[in-house]
Amino acid sequence: MENNNLYKSRLREKGQITLPNKIRSLLKAKEGDELLFYQDQTGKVVVDRAQMVPPDQAWFWSQRWQKMEREIQSDIDQNRIVQNKNVDEFIAYLNREDA
């Protein structure tokens, strides 16, 4: 194990610890943020910052919406999109004979 990636903290009464500055920076964590602790498949304990989604933005993170976002991004990546300059041009595109 490389010592340059090793950070130490002392466990205090009531289970409190202070995260070293470098770890807080890596997590982009600040005072008041919630942290997640979980055990990965190898048995190691992992610390991560909880990504809290504001209630008014929760729809965007639903499985259905994320699936649609991936589909749209795939269409963009594979150049399966048409851009129109204005509404009239868009309507003409929709009404074209070869559609």
The structure tokens listed for 55 are 């209630």
Domain boundary assignment for the chain: 3-49, 55-94
Residue of 36, 2, 7, 3 whose CA lies nearest to 21: 7
Contact (Cβ atoms closer than 8 angstroms) between residue 65 and residue 59: yes
What is 3-49's CATH number? Answer: 2.10.260.10
Q: What is the 3-state secondary structure (H, E, C) of 23-74?
A: HHHHHCCCCCCCEEEEECCCCCEEEEECCCCCHHHHHHHCHHHHHHHHHHHH
Structure confidence by residue, pLDDT tens digits, 10-34: 999 999 999 999 999 999 999 988 9
Structure confidence by residue, pLDDT tens digits, 21-76: 999 999 999 998 899 999 999 999 999 988 878 888 888 888 999 999 999 999 99
- Evaluate if residue 2 carries a pLDDT over 60: no
Instruction: Tell me what pLDDT residue 1 has.
Output: 46
